[in-house]
Structure 1
């Protein structure tokens, strides 16, 4: 079985209306958005990772020694950046519509840029260098083949995702109610999976905005200078096609590509949610993070070990398998995925899996880097807040 989830989740097409109840509201209307917002998996329990982290540390105190930067990361990033620059050079005279251009973009470019997306994810947790500033600057370097500046903005939104998992209005990894209304169909989900890179890039700014800082400005300036150099300053070595290759690589990395399955696999609920679990008075924890232990972790900094990562964000990618083996009794019975490709396929075609299949909570969490909830960062350490 491609996915380990042997149970079948109750239909995501629930309307909550009785047979003789009110008529279904028109798509896009305020009533429809409100109704679909209620159709997420609302929970009244604490997010599970802090509790499990404390239990693991109590049972295996040695896991705390796994925390800290991984020196190998900077060499892997440098190698992937060099690979992408070389392929951009190689394709400088190859037309955009050529099969070779698209084949290299899909097989090598998308895989490489997905690797760099997740390198920036790793670096956002200060896991490449001990110095926070060195990590910020190195993330800008890792950003170069992605061709669009995003590393500086990603960090505060991503750390807020960790501190505010599932919190409505703070966790920008959650689909909006507006997305649910228009995309919770086979065609809509296919559109979402094809263009999900744009949803992940634009949605955070629609939820709340973080203040612009000098590191954001540096990210933009360096990226624009790099892109301009490819197009105009290095004739004979690069061309406009070189930049198109990098942009295509970034698009395909967040589209219908096997490694893009992790975006959905990490937190969309494929499990059966019982009525008892939905009852606020008797609610049990709902699984909301899911791991994958397959071979694509080799290309993606072990991001598939996602329960492990949320439990211990300070453990780098090379030591997550050690964490898993050390605390195996805590992870053995958790639901997991066996194929990211099948995750995408089932997400699109299974009517019982869709945009609504996310756990939400009303309260808790903190924002990093200011924004509309700046008061909620008062209990953060200074090193955790965006400079």
Structure 2
């Protein structure tokens, strides 16, 4: 078994045989379709029954805002420093990759924390601070992220409402070495553009403020510092969602990779795999890159308890090790990118998906009111 992925359950260890690259198309070229409920609601209930003290971990983390302010100021300072440096020069590229992409990945994930109202007590304050945090990204992003991310949590794996899932078009075109490399390089575009083709959300005053504030800041930056400074922001954003160590979390969180991948069968009544063989659909990473990404690697923990701030997620795992230690874990985000691109069995199809019900009778506009 590859040491990169562990799949344990209590005292037993299971090893799944991966299907060969030349397996029939119905085996490799389809998602893991299931009618089973997503696992996080049930595990949350079980943890709370056994460890009611976990409730004390929920709540916002006020010190996070100071770190975010520091990152924003760092990015603005570097952009000013590079105001006379061509964006495609080695100097600008290296700074954008080493510092800029790392910083903007932290900004993406700070906005993720803000989408769960984990920086301030009042939701409105979280929304407005997310618009400020958006500055180094260069394009308005924060207002749209929150409702789409809420859908991801509420309807994990739903073909209509979870826009984190790749579409059949993506999986068909990109499930080859060249396509997977393109996907890994351009992840940021897939995550930014895919949602609007799957599920539309209501445009609210928060979106308007996000757009106006970002456009105004970009205008002032170009006016006083020049296009090269804004180019540094854009380059940092692109690299943050490309072949960057921290970008490995995009694939690591929910893709079924390596030994966790098992053969699918023919799709019957909305499912092509039994409950017993269904692989995990969320994976945690406990390595050092969590220090740069607000512990987003604690992803099972986060989906189980989305209202526990990043500083408390390690404590959650410590309090309930019997629930988290047996789960499969990813040990390297860099490794994930490499395995995804180079291993034939790892394809864009490797996601757990549910048929769902068209909109579930759910009014998406309500998300913007929270």
Please, what TM-score do these two structures have when normalized by structure 2?
Answer: 0.91
Distance 1:231 1:13, change over 3 A: farther
Report 1:197-212 matches (<5 A): 197-212=188-203
What's the offset of the Cα at 1:286?
2.9
Distance 1:86 1:226 in 2: 14
Once the two structures are superposed, residues 149-188 of structure 1 have per-residue CA deviations (whole angstroms, 9 ceiling, x without a partner) of: 0100000000000000001111100000000111000000
Partner of 2:229: 242
Aligned residues: 355
Out of 259, 267, 289, the residue aligned to residue 296 of structure 1 is: 289
2:355 is the counterpart of 1:331: no
The equivalent residue for 2:184 is: 193
Query: C-alpha separation between the residues in 1 aligned to 2:45 and 2:21?
Result: 34
Q: Given the alignment of the two structures, is residue 219 of structure 1 paired with residue 210 of structure 2, yes or no?
A: yes
Deviation at 1:225, TM superposition (A): 0.4
1:254 to 211, 224, 241: 241
- CA drift of 1:14 comes to 4.5
Residue of structure 2 in register with 1:9 after alignment: 18
| Structure 2 residue aligned with 1:97 | 88
Q: Is this contact kept in 2: 1:13–1:351, CA < 8 A?
A: no
CA distance in 2, matches of 1:108, 1:174: 29
> What is the distance in 1 between the residues matched to 2:265 and 2:25?
16
Pair 1:373-2:364 in alignment: no
Q: 1:269 to 1:374 in 2, by over 3 A?
A: closer
Do the aligned residues in 2 keep the contact of 1:164 with 1:171 (CA within 8 Å)? yes
Query: Is residue 2:275 matched to residue 1:283?
Result: yes
1:177 aligns with 2:168: yes
C-alpha distance in 2, partners of 1:41/1:13?
18
Contact 2:120 2:126 in 1 (8 A): yes
C-alpha displacement of 1:97 = 2.6
Residues 290-369 of structure 1 mapped to structure 2, 5 A cutoff:
290-363=283-356
Deviation at 1:65, TM superposition (A): 0.7
**Structure 1 residue aligned with 2:123:** 132
Q: Please say if 1:272 is aligned against 2:261.
A: yes
More displaced, 309-318 or 5-14?
Answer: 5-14
1:73 to 2:74 alignment? no
Please, which of 84, 88, 96 is the counterpart of residue 75 of structure 2?
84
Query: 1-side partners of 2:211 and 2:274: how far apart?
Result: 49
User: Cα distance 1:56–1:121, how it changes in 2: closer, same or farther (>3 A)?
Assistant: same
Structure 2 CA distance for partners of 1:17 and 1:151, relative to 1, 3 Å: closer
Pair 345,152 (structure 1): closer, same or farther in 2 beyond 3 Å: same
How far has the Cα of 1:11 moved from its partner? 4.3
Question: Among 48, 53, 76, which residue is 2:44 paired with?
Answer: 53
Structure 2 unmatched runs, 5+: 8-14
Q: How does the TM-score come out when normalised to structure 1?
A: 0.87
Q: Distance in 2 between matches of 1:375 and 1:169?
A: 12
CA distance in 2, matches of 1:287, 1:385: 30
Residues 1:81 and 1:54: Cα distance change in structure 2 (over 3 Å)? same
Instruction: Rate the CA distance shift 1:17–1:105 in 2: closer, same or farther, 3 A.
Output: closer
Residue range with higher mean Cα deviation, 6-15 or 311-320: 6-15
- Deviation at residue 276 of structure 1 after TM alignment: 9.1
- What's 1:368 paired with? none
User: How far apart, in 2, do the equivalents of 1:77 and 1:69 lie?
Assistant: 14
Q: Distance in 1 between matches of 2:3 and 2:240?
A: 22
d(CA) in 2 for partners of 1:302 and 1:93? 36
In 2, distance between residues paired with 1:317 and 1:17? Answer: 40
Name the SS for the 2:362 alignment partner: helix
Q: Which runs of 5+ in 1 are unaligned?
A: 19-34, 365-371
